[in-house]
Amino acid sequence: MEELFTKIRQEFGEFNKESRKVDELRVLEQGGKTVDEYVQEFRRTARGSCYKERVLVEEFKQELNRVVRRRLTEAKLPSTTIVKWKKRVVQLDYNMRQSRVEKRKERKCSAPRNRKCATIRRATTLLE
């Protein structure tokens, strides 16, 4: 029996490819992945689904991490296409990560007697 199904799949392709892709999209989530990783996985999974642009945008937004999703929805002009959403979320994620790095640097530099930070402060002052 399994041989028959294998031959049929080889001859005619997968029966429920669209349905399987939709199911994969519905369970896909960013979780601990970076936004870049999530975008790549979403793009791969969305290919072959029967979803149109607006539904793809909603699925994409739904499974982003809460902080990223909130920041995106607070933006002035919401994107309307999936390509624009992907670009926007990647840029937002990059900005958020850079902000965290800068905050860590500031905390380290606020510690007394930190020679490295004192050198950075002097260099910054000279540049101004």
How crowded is the C-beta side of 112, counted as CA atoms within 13 Å? 0
Q: How many domains does the chain have?
A: 1
pLDDT digits (tens, 9 = 90+) for 46-100: 887 878 888 888 888 888 888 888 887 777 666 778 888 888 888 888 888 888 8
Whether pLDDT at 126 is above 70:
no
Higher pLDDT residue, 10 or 127?
A: 10
Q: In percent, how much of the chain has pLDDT > 90?
A: 3
Q: Is residue 110 part of a domain?
A: no
- 121 falls within a domain: no
User: Is residue 116 assigned to a domain?
Assistant: no
pLDDT, position 13: 63
Q: Which domain holds residue 66?
A: 2-102
- At residue 127, does pLDDT exceed 60? no
| Domain-located, residue 70 | yes
User: One-letter amino acid identity for 23?
Assistant: D
What does the buried/exposed string (b/e) look like for 97-111 if buried means 16 or more CB atoms within 10 Å of the residue's CB? Answer: eeeeeeeeeeeeeee
Classify residue 108: in a domain, yes or no: no
